Amino acid sequence: MVKFFKNVAREMRKVSWPKGKALTRYTITVISTVAFVSVFFAIVDLGISEILELISGE
C-alpha cells in the first residue's frame, strides 16, 4: 500500500497543471457544456413526455 502511494505521489509531480487563465477558461467551458447538455435533455424529456401524453390520451 505504501509503495502504491509513493508511486502516485511521483506521478503527480509529473503532471503539468494549468495556470490561472487556462484554468478559468477550462472551468467556464465545462460549466457551459454541462448547462447546455442539461437544458437539451430537459427539452427532449419534456417533448417525449408530451408525445406520450398525446398518445395515451390523458
- pTM as predicted: 0.66
Q: Mean pLDDT over residues 18-32, rounded?
A: 96
Reply yes or no on whether the pLDDT at 54 is more than 70: yes
Reply yes or no on whether the pLDDT at 2 is more than 80: yes
State how far the Cα of 2 lies from the Cα of 10, in Å rounded to an integer. 12
Q: Mean pLDDT over residues 6-10, rounded?
A: 96
Distances (CA, A) of 16 to 11, 34, 37: 11, 25, 29
Report the pLDDT value the prediction gives residue 8, as an integer from 0 to 100.
Answer: 96
CB 45 within 8 A of CB 38: no
Read off the pLDDT band of 57 (50, 70, 90). confident
